[in-house]
Amino acid sequence: MASVGTDIARPAPHEPPPVLPGPPIPSEPVTLADSLMVEAGWSPANFGETGPNPPYLRIGGKLRVTLSDYEPCFSSFHRDRVLFRSKVSMLEHLQKYDQIMVDPAAFEECYGPGEGTEATFPFGAWLTIRKVSFEGLDLWGRRCGAVTLPLEPLTVASAIWLRNAPRPGLQG
């Protein structure tokens, strides 16, 4: 026979609330090359190594499944035998991150010496990604306002940094 004290249900241990879908979880900065290797399954063989700041990739266009929409994409420097890994939608890939930072080496390699100055682009600042198009990436920074990053510097995949920004009030 059970006593009164043993019939009382013990409270369940405290469980954290379920995770709700929301903004991306803050992340450590990663280069564009590393993000393509992790997120898209690329290998080092997909990148070019000739130049002062490897790895490199190509910027291309990708037809969507409907064959009516053409969009910018990251393209393997060396053609991959697996078609779907050779081209990665720029929009889909960059949606996994919300901020980008550009190293001056990307501009200097694409446009020549002296182009990696604050007069040409806000280098070293984390900028929010707003839009992806063939004209470039529309970005926004707290100190610099709206800017457009041309697509050419993205080819220097070692000089482009991506992250999910820490949210105010969150500690990670």
Let me know: does 28 contact 163? Beta carbons within 8 Å.
Answer: yes
pLDDT score, position 61:
75
Collapsing DSSP to helix, strand or coil, 68 comes out as coil
- pLDDT profile of the chain (172 residues), mean per 10: 49 43 68 94 90 91 63 80 71 93 96 90 94 92 93 96 76 44
Per-residue pLDDT tens digits for 68-97: 667 889 988 876 565 555 788 899 999 999
pLDDT score, position 108:
95
Let me know: does 79 contact 58? Beta carbons within 8 Å.
Answer: no
**pTM of the full predicted structure?**
0.77
pLDDT score, position 10:
47
Helix and strand numbers, DSSP H then E, in the chain: 4, 9
Let me know: does 134 contact 72? Beta carbons within 8 Å.
Answer: yes
pLDDT score, position 27:
78
pLDDT score, position 82:
55
For the record, the structure tokens of 57 come out as 């990739």
